[in-house]
């Protein structure tokens, strides 16, 4: 960089290097974040497309749009793609990748090469699975229960499992990177209890990724070997126990649901404080809750198996711990609400996203409590009640938080502002469409509508039709941001370094930031979310 | 982190770090976390094994007697020795002794290869005895309850196989270290790298001790 | 619905019932718990949303008049958090206790009047009554009787789900689970398969027909069942050579099985185990799992040789044996010989 250029303005990480290999071989965490953003957006729309066909099929009680097998493959693709290729990497690998080093005042992640490798692993694993699934089909559901998956389901089960297995490594690498960065690369003065909650959330998420993902890998190895080499570990004919698979699977997959919500909680804490112009209510409580969720999250996996025939006492313990794990979430919900108290609230699009999150997550969480209540779960297990529960948390909660965060940091990431009006329209459309889609599913679930059903008794039709209508609204709601965010890349207003007057180190540098994030080393002297000082300057 | 230049070496840290101490700590921590994930990986399989070990104690104990305890013990001794040489290599590189480092690395790799060779011989032996219930091979178990014993052998192959994969990866990275030591470009960096390889090698060793105990030794 | 399954779709449940028909006492009790949960959630949700709306209005940026001084101190914040925690904990423990009690009740049932076998198979339900009557995708039961189900699967995991009874039990191959219910309302109720089991999972439907005592008896006679389960089991017991070892004619020494059911059996390992259905089943399929004390583990496993129905028949037969039954039998036979 020449003297003159350095004096004018920093050169942003986007301004130079637009050949293909400048992107594909980059080690800059900000560019890797973009690579991830592009990949997960593609996977999201693919998973969404599958959801739309599912909803189309369910408009009528008969199986008239696709064949029975095709339907089963659709919800399998939908679940696998949405969970492993979209939601797990969503916030950590896009916003987290971009912001974590900025927020701790570092020049990059601790292992930039691992970071780009992790993207390759993820994308190759994902594309491989999709190719396998589309060419020959997998119909096990995202849970791969044995013995169906090992002995009865034909087609590309091994390929799909391999893909998921490979993608697991990308989670692990990201986790290692985040943990080490948070531990070792914080700016001077940035003590643990001065970290933004977004960093806390991603740190905790990484812990789960690192500790739980390998167990999934082990399980998948056993499953793959069982199918390929004909060894029998879960096969009842050999004295194996199919339920053991469920234990191993949920030992990963329950903690994984916290991978899918903690980052969202982190994002929402940032958004709500900024648009309330106030520090978060109970900062310590918020940070400790995050850790508590992480730890307790490892003790509750058996709540997916209340009717599978585990011992009554196991069921009892798992139910008990499930109630406990909901407590920190309760603290967080109440603290977000209390943060508004005596704030100066600005209802921007970002704030609407954040508040939708709080409402929808609460409903999803409540119904989680229903499911944790043993006797109730016996009735609603494997019905649409469960489907509604997790969509409320994963779509209503996490996807909403992701979109909110994307809007909030869009100016930082791109240097452009998005059109506020359209963003508000999309946020409202999503809120309404979402409730229309998934609230009826609670009702039909308690009424006895089982999940993974292509055909169903006529009585449920009216609720299914409502749900399908809602999915249509959702589709529009998700296409809108795609369009106007892309539009803003070219025609959006230029963004100043700190358009929201937000706290946090990432706002102290240019939009978009220079290659090494900050022109001079940062130091931190106070607590996070110090909006009083900012506003009274 | 402070930006005072590190006193240990003149070499510059990677661009994302402020100084070499920070980088060294970060690298080590990364490796430790990676080993934690490996522990969980093997832990998952050991858990499954334990469940069945308790479900069919006699059958599993008897099946274990069909493994070659002598070779297993010998292999264990080999692996522990190799870890010793690995540690020596670490000391040598930190002391700046290029030739010694090379020698110790070679011995480590050599022992590793012998280990895999013996393991391969054991597998072959089991194959000829028709104790390999995979890929539809004939499984002719001489003891009682061949179907349960099959389960034991399944675990045996999964665990030793996965371990062998880890060993092979370790051998590859150690060979890369040999090349680096040969060139001797940046000794302090090399020291870090060899230390990290050493951690990994020790881990592979520890996993083997667990495999040896659960598969070979639990005979009664 | 599809034509193939239409005959099995029960008629009475037509129309959308957001709360499904309550056909057992348990259903009513469960719905109370459900309403309580809905109520509690609604109150808290209204509180959260209400507060958001209220704060949103009161403290909107444009409202300069709102009092924003005296923000709560960290101490106050901690107190609020602890209060919330305590309140939630109490509420949660209440719900936990309530739900768990109901759950335990729904598993440990009273003494059953009869046991019906349910076997799941891709994609149908096979039912066997104690008197040997068999049906497919339908279960006829008398009203006001405690019915016990023995459920198992022949292939993959299925799940036996009757919404009107609030009853669900996974049907797992290789193991036998039980469930019970006591229907209080005559009528026809839906039976679903709730665990995904392959292509036609959504067509694995059936019905439970709850009948008055009289109707039920009439139905039974109409079925004209051939053989009871126990006597079918006895034939199998002989046909598969069990009697060869167990009835003492051959050299193999094997324990006699009359009166086994419900007794405590001393095992080789030193443990003592109750001979219940699961034990008998395991003894047939995995004889090496529990070895009876004083016997050689020579009994071969019959896994794969007996169908699920046959296993259930044999188990029923062994259960039906009273202490001394075999002695009496052999005495009779000997008398025949000596004559
Ligand atoms: C991001 C994902 C995510 C998250 C965060 C959660 C969070 C929770 N989940 Fe959920 N869950 C899933 C994703 C998730 N879940 C998925 C995908 C499945 C189905 C998998 C499959 O089978 O395919 C599932 C299934 C599932 C089951 C099994 C159902 C069944 O199959 O029968 C259960 C049972 O206990 C459960 C419980 C809970 C609970 C108690 C929480 C808690 O952590 C929620 C805590 C939050 C709150 C409680 C709200 C805030 C609290 C307050 C405002 C305080 C006041 C509250 C009360 C007084 C109630 N979940
Ligand atoms: C992150 C997770 C996630 C997300 C975001 C979603 C999003 C949605 N899901 Fe999904 N869902 C799961 C996770 C998720 N789901 C899981 C884990 C299961 C269980 C699977 C199993 O049983 O194994 C499931 C199951 C599931 C079912 C139950 C199927 C069954 O049991 O038979 C249904 C039914 O309504 C459903 C609907 C929807 C809908 C309408 C959306 C909507 O929110 C989607 C909205 C998005 C769009 C509509 C995209 C817009 C796209 C276009 C407009 C097309 C344009 C196309 C291109 C440009 C290529 N989902
Ligand atoms: Cu049987 Cu689903
Ligand atoms: Cu869970």
Start-to-end Cα distance in chain C: 66
Closest-CA residue of C relative to A148 is C156
Give C53's pLDDT tier (boundaries 50, 70, 90): very high
Task: Give B-chain residues touching C301 at CB under 8 angstroms.
Answer: 145, 147
Return the residue matching tokens 């310590």: A284
Query: Is residue A317 less than 8 Å (CB to CB) from chain C?
Result: no
Residue C57: is it exposed, middle or buried by C-beta count within 10 angstroms (0-12/13-18/19+)?
exposed
> How does pLDDT run across A290-322, given as a tens digit for each residue?
999 999 999 999 999 999 888 888 999 999 999
Residue nearest to atom 59 of ligand 1 (CA): A366
- Rg of chain C in Å (alpha carbons): 28
CATH class for domain B42-217?
mainly alpha
Rounded mean pLDDT, C221-244? 78
Give B64's pLDDT tier (boundaries 50, 70, 90): confident
Q: Which pLDDT value is given to residue C314?
A: 86
3-state secondary structure of C183: strand
Chain-centroid distance, C-alpha A285 = 23
Chain-centroid distance, C-alpha A516 = 27
Residue C81 contacts residue A331 (beta carbons within 8 Å):
yes
d(CA A79, ligand 2 centre) in Å: 7
Residues in contact with ligand 3 (CB, 6 Å cut-off)? C 120, 123, 158, 193, 195-197, 201, 204
For a pLDDT cut of 70, what percent of chain C falls above it?
90
From C297's Cα to the closest Cα of chain B, the distance in A is 9
Q: What is the pTM of this model?
A: 0.87
For a pLDDT cut of 70, what percent of chain B falls above it?
92
Residue C133 contacts residue C209 (beta carbons within 8 Å):
no
Pocket test for ligand 1, best of C42, C86, C88 (most atoms within 8 A of CB): C88
Residue ranges per structural domain of chain B? 42-217
Rounded mean pLDDT, C190-204? 92
| DSSP track, A393-416 | IIIIIIIHHHHHHHHHHHHHHHSB
Rounded mean pLDDT, B159-166? 92
- Name, in order, each residue with C-beta under 8 angstroms of A500's C-beta and a sequence gap of 6 or more: A274, A275, A350, A408, A507
Residue nearest to atom 1 of ligand 3 (CA): C158
Pick among C278, C285, C286 to test the B interface (most B CBs inside 10 A): C286
Q: Where are the alpha helices (DSSP H) in A381-526?
A: 384-391, 400-414, 420-446, 461-491
From C222's Cα to the closest Cα of chain A, the distance in A is 30
Pocket test for ligand 1, best of A390, A396, A438 (most atoms within 8 A of CB): A390
Q: Which pLDDT value is given to residue A428?
A: 94
Residue A297 contacts residue A205 (beta carbons within 8 Å):
no
Point out the ligand nearest to the CA of residue C159: 3
Q: Which pLDDT value is given to residue A9?
A: 54
Cis peptide before A512 (omega within 30 of 0): yes
Which chains have at least 3 CB atom pairs separated by less than 8 Å from chain C?
A, B
Between CA A129 and CA A156 the distance in angstroms is 9
Which chains have at least 3 CB atom pairs separated by less than 8 Å from chain B?
A, C
Q: Which pLDDT value is given to residue A138?
A: 87
Query: Is residue B17 less than 8 Å (CB to CB) from chain A?
Result: yes
Between CA A12 and CA C76 the distance in angstroms is 44
Chain C residues within 8 Å of chain B (Cβ atoms): 286, 288-289, 297, 301, 303
From C3's Cα to the closest Cα of chain A, the distance in A is 10
Between CA C228 and CA C333 the distance in angstroms is 23
d(CA A50, ligand 2 centre) in Å: 7
Atom index in ligand 3 nearest the CA of residue C120 equals 1
3-state secondary structure of C190: strand
Cβ-based neighbour number of residue B120 at 10 Å: 11
Closest-CA residue of A relative to B155 is A233
Residue C151 contacts residue C178 (beta carbons within 8 Å):
yes
The strand order across the sheet containing C147-153 reads C134-136, C124-128, C114-121, C147-153, C177-181
Is the pLDDT reported for residue A2 higher than 50? Answer: no
Atom index in ligand 3 nearest the CA of residue C197 equals 2
What average pLDDT does the structure give for chain A?
A: 91
Give C248's pLDDT tier (boundaries 50, 70, 90): low
Residue B101: is it exposed, middle or buried by C-beta count within 10 angstroms (0-12/13-18/19+)?
buried
Residue C199 contacts residue C182 (beta carbons within 8 Å):
no
The size of the A-B interface in CB pairs under 8 A is 130
Is the pLDDT reported for residue B6 higher than 50? Answer: no
- Rg of chain A in Å (alpha carbons): 23
Between CA C151 and CA C120 the distance in angstroms is 8
> How does pLDDT run across C167-176, given as a tens digit for each residue?
999 999 888 8
Query: Is residue A239 less than 8 Å (CB to CB) from chain B?
Result: yes
Give A403's pLDDT tier (boundaries 50, 70, 90): very high
Is the pLDDT reported for residue A521 higher than 90? Answer: no
Is the pLDDT reported for residue C7 higher than 50? Answer: no
Backbone angles phi, psi at B64, to 5 degrees: -60, -30
Between CA A327 and CA A525 the distance in angstroms is 32
Looking at the fold, whether C124 and C198 belong to one and the same domain comes out as yes
> How does pLDDT run across A188-241, given as a tens digit for each residue?
999 999 999 999 999 999 999 999 999 999 888 888 888 877 777 887 776 778
Residue at a domain's end among C224, C248, C278: C224
Atom index in ligand 1 nearest the CA of residue A373 equals 35
- The CATH number of the domain holding residue C317 is 1.10.760.10
Residue A264: is it exposed, middle or buried by C-beta count within 10 angstroms (0-12/13-18/19+)?
buried
Nearest to A334 among C74, C84, C190 (CB): C84
Structural domain including C143 reads 114-224
For a pLDDT cut of 90, what percent of chain B falls above it?
32
Give C334's pLDDT tier (boundaries 50, 70, 90): low
d(CA A465, ligand 3 centre) in Å: 24
Tally the domains of chain C: 3
Most confidently predicted of A512-516, C94-98, C292-296:
C94-98
Rounded mean pLDDT, C157-178? 92
Is the pLDDT reported for residue B3 higher than 60? Answer: no
- Does residue C144 fall inside a structural domain? yes
3-state secondary structure of C142: strand
Rounded mean pLDDT, C44-64? 91
From the CB of A362, is ligand 1 less than 6 Å away? yes
* Residue B197, token pair as written in the block: 């390889």
Q: Which pLDDT value is given to residue A114?
A: 92
Mean pLDDT is lowest, of A176-180, A247-251, A529-533, C21-25, for A529-533
Give C331's pLDDT tier (boundaries 50, 70, 90): low
What average pLDDT does the structure give for chain C?
A: 84
Helices (H) and strands (E) in chain C, counts: 8, 12
Q: Which pLDDT value is given to residue C69?
A: 80
Residue at a domain's end among C164, C191, C224: C224
Question: Per the CB < 8 Å rule, is B1 touching A225?
Answer: no
Nearest to B33 among A106, A176, A241 (CB): A176
Residue nearest to atom 36 of ligand 2 (CA): A51
Give B128's pLDDT tier (boundaries 50, 70, 90): confident
> How does pLDDT run across B197-220, given as a tens digit for each residue?
999 999 999 999 999 988 888 876
Query: Is residue A363 less than 8 Å (CB to CB) from chain C?
Result: yes
From the CB of A257, is ligand 2 less than 6 Å away? no
- Element housing C308 (H / E): helix C308-320
Maximum CA extent, chain A: 76
For a pLDDT cut of 70, what percent of chain A falls above it?
97
From the CB of A143, is ligand 1 less than 6 Å away? yes
Question: Per the CB < 8 Å rule, is B44 touching A217?
Answer: yes
> How does pLDDT run across A39-55, given as a tens digit for each residue?
999 999 999 999 999 99
Residue B52 contacts residue B159 (beta carbons within 8 Å):
no
Task: Give B-chain residues touching C297 at CB under 8 angstroms.
Answer: 144
Residue ranges of A 76-105 with Cβ closer than 8 A to chain B = 101
Looking at the fold, whether C310 and C264 belong to one and the same domain comes out as yes
Pick among C10, C54, C84 to test the A interface (most A CBs inside 10 A): C84
Is the pLDDT reported for residue A514 higher than 80? Answer: yes
Domain A28-536, CATH number (from 1.20.1290.10, 3.40.50.720, 1.10.3720.10, 1.20.210.10): 1.20.210.10
Task: Give B-chain residues touching C289 at CB under 8 angstroms.
Answer: 55-56
d(CA A265, ligand 1 centre) in Å: 15
Task: Give C-chain residues touching B56 at CB under 8 angstroms.
Answer: 288-289
d(CA C164, ligand 3 centre) in Å: 18
Query: Is residue A291 less than 8 Å (CB to CB) from chain B?
Result: no
Q: Which residue has the higher pLDDT, C70 or A77?
A: A77
> How does pLDDT run across C259-289, given as a tens digit for each residue?
788 788 888 777 778 888 888 888 888 787 7
SS3 content of chain C, % helix, strand, coil (to 5): 40, 20, 40
Looking at the fold, whether C176 and C82 belong to one and the same domain comes out as no
From A429's Cα to the closest Cα of chain B, the distance in A is 42
Is the pLDDT reported for residue C163 higher than 90? Answer: yes
Q: Which residue has the higher pLDDT, A104 or C251?
A: A104
Task: Give C-chain residues touching A309 at CB under 8 angstroms.
Answer: 169-170, 172, 175, 177
> How does pLDDT run across A106-138, given as a tens digit for each residue?
989 999 999 999 999 999 999 988 888 888 788
Is beta strand C187-193 parallel, antiparallel or unpaired with respect to C272-274? Answer: unpaired
Q: Which pLDDT value is given to residue C1?
A: 40
Q: C117 pairs with which residues across the strands?
A: C128, C150
Q: Which residue has the higher pLDDT, B152 or C32?
A: C32
């Amino acid at each position: 960089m020449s003297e003159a250029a350095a004096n004018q303005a920093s050169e942003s990480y986007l301004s130079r290097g637009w050949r293909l290999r400048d992107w594909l071989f980059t080690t800059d965490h900000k560019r890797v974040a973009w690579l991830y953003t592009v990949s997960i957006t593609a996977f999201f729309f693919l998973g969404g497309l599958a959801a739309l066909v599912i909803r189309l099929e369910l408009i009528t009680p008969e199986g008239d749009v696709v064949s029975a097998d095709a339907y089963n493959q659709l919800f399998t693709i939908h679940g696998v793609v949405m969970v492993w290729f979209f939601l797990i990497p969503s916030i950590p690998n896009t916003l987290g990748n971009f912001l974590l080093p900025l927020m701790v005042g570092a020049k990059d992640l601790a292992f930039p090469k691992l970071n780009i490798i992790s993207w390759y692993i993820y994308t190759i694993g994902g594309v491989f699975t999709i190719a396998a699934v589309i060419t020959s089909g997998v119909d096990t559901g995202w849970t791969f229960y044995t013995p169906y998956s090992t002995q009865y389901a034909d087609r590309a089960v091994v390929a799909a499992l391999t893909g998921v297995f490979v993608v697991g490594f990308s989670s692990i690498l990201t986790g290692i990177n985040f943990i080490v960065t948070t531990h070792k690369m914080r700016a001077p003065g940035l003590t643990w209890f001065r970290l933004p909650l977004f960093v806390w959330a991603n740190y905790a998420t990484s812990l789960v990724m690192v500790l739980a993902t390998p167990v999934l890998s082990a399980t998948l190895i056993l499953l793959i070997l069982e199918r390929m080499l004909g060894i029998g570990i879960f096969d009842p004919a050999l004295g194996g126990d199919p339920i053991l698979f469920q234990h191993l699977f949920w030992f990963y997959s329950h903690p994984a649901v916290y991978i899918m919500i903690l980052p969202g909680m982190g994002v929402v804490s940032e958004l709500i404080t900024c648009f309330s112009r106030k520090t978060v209510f109970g900062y310590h409580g918020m940070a400790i809750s995050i850790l508590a969720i992480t730890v307790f999250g490892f003790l509750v996996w058996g709540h997916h198996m209340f009717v599978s025939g585990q011992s009554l006492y196991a069921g009892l313990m798992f139910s008990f711990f499930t109630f406990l794990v909901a407590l920190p979430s309760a603290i967080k919900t109440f603290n977000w609400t209390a943060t508004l108290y005596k704030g100066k609230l600005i209802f921007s699009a970002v704030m609407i996203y954040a508040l939708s999150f709080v409402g929808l997550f609460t409903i999803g969480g409540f119904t989680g409590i229903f499911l944790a209540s043993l006797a109730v779960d016996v009735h609603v297990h494997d019905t649409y009640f469960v489907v509604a529960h997790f969509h409320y948390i994963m779509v209503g909660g996490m996807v909403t938080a992701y979109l909110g965060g994307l809007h909030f940091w869009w100016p930082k990431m791109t240097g452009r502002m998005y059109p506020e009006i359209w963003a508000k329209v999309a946020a409202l459309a999503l809120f309404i469409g979402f409730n229309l889609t998934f609230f009826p599913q609670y009702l039909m679930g308690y009424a006895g509508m089982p999940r993974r059903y292509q055909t169903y008794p006529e009585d449920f039709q009216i609720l299914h039709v409502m749900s399908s209508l809602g999915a249509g609204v959702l589709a529009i709601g998700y296409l809108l941001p795609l369009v106007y965010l892309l539009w803003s890349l070219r025609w959006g207003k230029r963004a100043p370094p700190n358009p929201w007057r937000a706290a946090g180190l990432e706002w102290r540098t240019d939009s978009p930031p220079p290659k090494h994030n900050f022109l001079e080393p940062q130091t931190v002297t106070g607590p996070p979310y110090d909006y009083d000082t900012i506003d009274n300057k | 982190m402070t930006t005072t230049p590190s006193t240990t070496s003149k070499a510059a840290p990677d661009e994302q770090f402020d100084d070499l101490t920070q980088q060294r700590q970060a690298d080590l921590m990364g490796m430790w976390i990676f080993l934690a994930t490996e522990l969980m990986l093997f832990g998952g399989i050991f858990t499954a094994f334990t469940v069945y070990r308790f479900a069919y104690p006699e059958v599993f104990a008897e099946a274990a007697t069909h493994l070659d305890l002598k070779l297993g013990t010998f292999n264990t001794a080999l692996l522990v020795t190799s870890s010793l040489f690995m540690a020596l290599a670490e000391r040598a590189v930190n002391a700046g002794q290029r030739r010694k480092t090379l020698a110790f690395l070679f011995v480590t790799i050599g022992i590793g290869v012998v280990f895999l060779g013996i393991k391969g011989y054991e597998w072959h032996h089991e194959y000829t005895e028709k104790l390999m219930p995979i890929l539809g091979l004939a499984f002719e178990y001489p003891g009682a309850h061949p179907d349960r014993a099959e389960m034991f052998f399944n675990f045996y192959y999964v665990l030793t196989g996965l371990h062998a994969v880890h060993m092979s990866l370790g051998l590859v990275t150690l060979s890369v270290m040999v090349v680096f030591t040969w060139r001797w470009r940046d000794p302090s960096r090399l020291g870090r790298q060899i230390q990290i390889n050493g951690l990994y090698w020790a881990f592979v060793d520890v996993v083997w001790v667990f495999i040896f105990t659960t598969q070979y030794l639990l005979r009664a | 619905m599809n034509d193939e399954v239409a005959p099995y779709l029960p008629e009475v449940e037509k129309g959308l019932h957001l709360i499904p028909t309550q056909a057992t006492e348990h259903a009513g009790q469960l719905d109370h718990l459900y309403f309580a949960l809905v109520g509690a959630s609604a109150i808290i949700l209204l509180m959260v949303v209400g507060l958001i709306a209220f704060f949103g209005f009161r403290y909107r940026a444009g409202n300069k008049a709102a009092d924003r001084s005296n923000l709560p101190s960290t101490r106050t914040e901690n107190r609020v958090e602890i209060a919330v925690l305590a309140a939630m904990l109490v509420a949660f423990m209440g719900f936990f206790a309530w739900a768990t009690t109901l759950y335990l009740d729904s598993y440990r049932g009273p003494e059953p009047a009869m046991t019906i076998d349910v076997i799941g198979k891709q994609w149908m339900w096979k039912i066997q009554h104690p008197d040997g009557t068999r049906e497919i995708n339908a279960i006829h039961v008398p009203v006001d009787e405690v019915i016990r189900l023995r459920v198992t699967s022949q292939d993959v995991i299925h799940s036996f789900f009757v919404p009107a009874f609030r009853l669900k039990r996974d049907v797992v191959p290789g193991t036998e689970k039980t469930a019970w219910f006591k229907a209080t309302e005559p009528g026809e109720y839906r039976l679903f398969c709730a665990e995904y089991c392959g292509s036609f999972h959504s067509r694995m439907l059936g019905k439970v027909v709850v009948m008055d005592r009289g109707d039920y008896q009439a139905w039974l006679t109409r079925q004209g069942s051939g053989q009871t389960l126990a006597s079918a089991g006895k034939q199998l017991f002989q046909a598969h050579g069990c009697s060869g070892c167990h009835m003492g004619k051959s050299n193999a020494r094997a324990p006699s099985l009359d009166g086994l059911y419900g007794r405590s059996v001393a095992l080789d390992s030193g443990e003592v185990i109750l001979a219940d259905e699961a034990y008998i089943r395991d003894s047939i399929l995995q004889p090496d799992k529990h070895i009876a004390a004083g016997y050689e583990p020579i009994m071969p496993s019959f896994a794969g040789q007996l169908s699920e129905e046959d296993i259930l028949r044999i188990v029923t037969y062994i259960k039906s044996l009273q202490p001394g039954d075999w002695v009496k039998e052999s005495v009779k036979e000997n008398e025949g010989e000596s004559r």
